[in-house]
Amino acid sequence: MAKSIPSSGAGAVRIILKNKKDFHFDLREKKEENGKTSYLYDVFYENATGTLNMLVDADQPVIAALNLSLGKVITLSNDANLKKLCRYVLENTK
């Protein structure tokens, strides 16, 4: 059993990255416009569910937001690890 995310959401992305096998995501929507691609995923991890939204330009996430059911919204500006999580999700999208 993976470590649960604290109710404050602190360190959520770091915890998910350390327990990737317990992190599940489903692509809900993908749109392409002007050479950029936007993705919307439903995400699931132990005690939290939510969405991951990202805008990708030249294979790099330029905007991303992880909105968890814990009431925490994590963005690229407040968590540097989110870019790693976005790359992981993109690499493993079927």
State residue 90's pLDDT score.
Answer: 95
pLDDT tens digits for range 80-89? 999 999 999 9
Quick one: CATH architecture of 12-91?
Answer: Roll (3.10)
For residue 7, the 8-state DSSP code is T
- Cα angle: 73, vertex 38, 72; to 5 degrees: 5
For residue 71, the 8-state DSSP code is S
All structural domains of the chain with their residue ranges: 12-91
Q: Which of 64, 57, 49 is nearest to 5 (CA)?
A: 49
Q: Which of 58, 50, 37 is nearest to 9 (CA)?
A: 50
pLDDT tens digits for range 30-72? 999 999 999 999 999 988 999 999 999 998 999 999 999 988 8
For residue 39, the 8-state DSSP code is E
State residue 1's pLDDT score.
Answer: 67
Query: Can you give the pTM of this predicted structure?
Result: 0.91
Q: What is the mean pLDDT of residues 12-30?
A: 95
